[in-house]
Chain A
Amino acid sequence: MTELGKTEAIDAGALPMVAARPTLEVTPRLRIVAIVVVVAVISGAIALTAGGYWLSNFTQAYCMILTLMGCAVLYGQLGLVSLCQWALVGVGGWISLRFYHYFHPPFFVTILAGGVGASAVGMIWGLPALRMRGLYLALVTLMLAGAFQTVITVTSFPVGGPGILGQVGASGNERIMMARPEIASSDTAYFLYVAFVTLLAIFLVEAHRRTKPGRAWALIRKNEQMAMASGVRIVFYKAWAFALSGFLAGVAGAMLAGLFGQLDASAFAPTDSIVIFIGTLLGGTEFWLGPFLGGILTRFIPALLIDFNVNAYVGLLFFGAALLLGLRDPVGIGGHLTGLAENLYRKFMRWRGS
C-alpha cells in the first residue's frame, strides 16, 4: 500500500487540471487604495456640486449605504433575508437621540451609542434566524419592522423632554434638536463627515468579509452541517452577523438624527426595509461597491421623482422592476463594475509588462 501511495503522490502533479487563467492579483493594498479613491472622488464631487435639497438627499443616501452594507452582510454572506433593516435604523436613531438628550456627549460617542444599541437589538431580532431562513425569516423580520413602526408612531422619537420617552407634550418644554459635531456644522461639512464614517464602515465590513468571520459565514451559507463539521459555531457567527448589521444600521440612524436634528416616526415604514433589500440586490452583495452604489440609487431615484413632481410611489414601481433584475443577476451593478475595473487593471498591467 505504501508503494502505491508513493507512486501516486509523485503522479499527482500530472493530473489534468483546469488551465489557470493568467491572473494578476488585485492586492489588498490596491483594494484599499481603490476604495479610498472611489469614495473620495464621488464624495468630493457631490460636496463640490450639490447643495440644499440634493446635498441633504446625498447625505441620506450615505446613511442608506450603511444600511445596505448591513443587509448585504446578512444576505450576501449568510443568505439570510432581513426585512427589518430600516427599522433598525430607527432603533439606532432613537437610542442616539435618547443618549444625546441625557448626556450631551461628543457626536462620535452618540453615533457609537446608536450603533451599539441597534447592534444589541439586531442580535435579538436575529434570533429567529437560528431556526428559520428564506421566506419565513423574511416574514418574521418584516413583522418586526411593522411592530417597530407601530411602537414608534405611538411613542415618537425623543426631543429632549422629561422621562424615558423624552417628549415635550404638555410640559411646555422646547423641542431640542440634536447638534451636529463642531467640525461639521455646515451641510457640506456634515456630508463629508458622514462620507468619512461611511468609508470607515466599508473598511469594517471588508475586514470582516476577508478574515475569519467572513470565511465562517461563507461555510454557513454553503451548508450548515458542513460548517459545523469545520468547527464553526453557527449560533455565534450568525449572531455576530446580525450584530454587525445592526451596528451599521444604528450608526446610519444616528447620522440621520444628526442631519435633521430630530427624527420623524412616519419615515420608518416597513416598506422602506423592503426597498433597502431591493437596493441591496440591485447593487450586489459580493463587493463593497454594490451597497455603495445601491445606497445612492435607493435614495437618488425617489429624490429625482420628487424633484420632477412625480408621485414618490412611482419609485416603488421602479424598485419592483429592479427586484426582478436583482434576483436574476446575483453580482449586481457593483459586481459588474468591479469585474470591469479588475479586467481593465489586468490589461493595463499586462500592457505595462509587455
Chain B
Amino acid sequence: MIKIESLTVQFGGVRPLDALDGEFTAPICGLIGPNGAGKTTLLNVLSGFVTPVKGSVSLNGIALRPLSPVRRVAMGLRRTFQQELVVDEMTAHDNVRAIADHIAASRQEARAQIGRAMDFVGLTDRAHVPGRQLNLYERRMIEIGKTLIGKPRAILLDEPGAGLNESETERLRGLLVQIPERFGAQLVLIDHDADLIASVCVETMVLDFGKLLAFGPTRVVLDDPVVRRAYLGTA
C-alpha cells in the first residue's frame, strides 16, 4: 500500500507536485494525467531519485524518505522507465540476472527467480539472445521480468505499453492482471492508453499540473467530466 501525504516537489519556480495526497490501496492502480502533470515525478519521488521539499511517502507503513534508492529496492520497490533500458550487449537472461545479483539471497534462489520471471513474461526460449536482437515487445517484457525478481511489494510501471501494437498491448494486459496474485505485488501503472488503464486498474489517480484532479474507482474517474475535459479532451 502506497501512501502519499502533502507531497510537494519544487524545481526552481516550478512545482511538478503540489501538496499531493492519496493512498493506493487496490492491487492495480492507474496514474494518469496530461504531459507535465507530474506522473513521472511522483514515480521518481517514490523511487528516491527526487527529494520532495515537503510531505511524505510510505510503502506498507514504512516511510520511504529516509531510505536510499537501493534500500527501497531491497524492501521490495521496483520500477520501469518510460524508455526501455535493456542492455544490448547482455543476453535477455543476463539483463534479468543483473537485478537478481543484488536482490536474491543465493545463486539457487536467483536461478529460480529468473526462471520464474522469464517464464512469466514468455521469454524462456529467448533467454540467450543478446539484448540488441530483441524486438520492442520483448524488451518491454524484459523490463517487466526484472521487476518480478525477489519479493516485489510495489511495482511502478512507467508507460509499459508505449510503442506496442494492439495485439502486444493485449498480451501485456493479460500479464499485468496476473502480477498481484502471482507475485504478491501492488502495481502502479502510468499509461496514456485509457483503454489499458480502464481494463486493468481498479482505482486511478488523475494529476493535472502537479495537483490531484481526481482519485477513485477507475470507471468513475474516467467518466468524471472534469477529468474528461482536462485529460481526454472531451466534456
Residues of A bordering B, CB below 8 Å: 1-2, 4-9, 11-13, 15, 17-18, 20-21, 23, 25, 212, 215-216, 218-219, 221-223, 225-226, 228-233, 286
Contacts and interface: CB of A to CB of B under 8 A. Distances in A.
Contact of A1 (B47, B48, B200): B200
B81 A228 contact: no
Contact of A4 (B47, B122, B135, B173): B173
B213 to A, nearest CB: 26
Given A216-B98, A225-B49, A229-B73, A8 B170 contact: yes
A73 to B, nearest CB: 14
B41 to A, nearest CB: 13
B134 interface: yes
Interface in B70-89: 70, 73-74, 78-79, 81, 85, 87, 89
Given A5-B175, A230-B146, 16 more contacts: A4-B174, A4-B199, A5-B177, A6-B174, A8-B170, A8-B171, A13-B122, A20-B125, A215-B97, A216-B98, A226-B85, A228-B47, A228-B49, A229-B69, A229-B81, A231-B74
Contact of A15 (B74, B89, B171): B171
A230 B178 contact: no
Given A1-B177, A9-B178, A223-B85, A229 B47 contact: yes
Given A13-B122, A229-B69, A222 B87 contact: yes
B54 to A, nearest CB: 23
Contacts of A228: 47-49, 69-70, 73
A323 B171 CA distance: 47
Contacts of A9: 122, 174-175, 178
Nearest to A9: B174
A248 B134 CA distance: 35
B23 interface: no
B137 interface: yes
Interface residues of B, number: 45
A240 to B, nearest CB: 13
A228 B73 CA distance: 8
A5 B175 CA distance: 6
B133 interface: yes
Contact of B87 (A6, A17, A219, A225): A219
Interface in B162-212: 167-168, 170-171, 173-175, 177-178, 181, 199-200
B201 to A, nearest CB: 10
A14 B11 CA distance: 46
Interface in B19-75: 47-49, 69-70, 73-74
Contacts of B226: none
B102 interface: yes
B73 A15 contact: no
A216 B200 contact: no
B138 interface: yes
A287 to B, nearest CB: 11
Given A215-B101, A228-B49, A8 B138 contact: no
B175 A17 contact: no
B159 interface: no
A11 B167 CA distance: 10
B103 interface: yes
A25 B128 CA distance: 9
A212 B171 contact: no
A5 B27 CA distance: 14
B79 A17 contact: no
B230 interface: no
B85 A222 contact: yes
B99 interface: yes
A12 B98 contact: no
25 contacts: A4-B177, A5-B177, A8-B174, A9-B178, A12-B121, A15-B167, A15-B171, A17-B135, A18-B134, A18-B138, A20-B125, A20-B129, A23-B128, A215-B97, A216-B98, A223-B81, A225-B81, A226-B81, A226-B85, A228-B49, A229-B47, A232-B70, A233-B70, A233-B102, A286-B89
Nearest to A20: B129
Question: 9 closest pairs, A vs B, by CB?
Answer: A8-B174, A231-B102, A12-B122, A215-B98, A230-B99, A5-B178, A228-B69, A231-B73, A5-B177
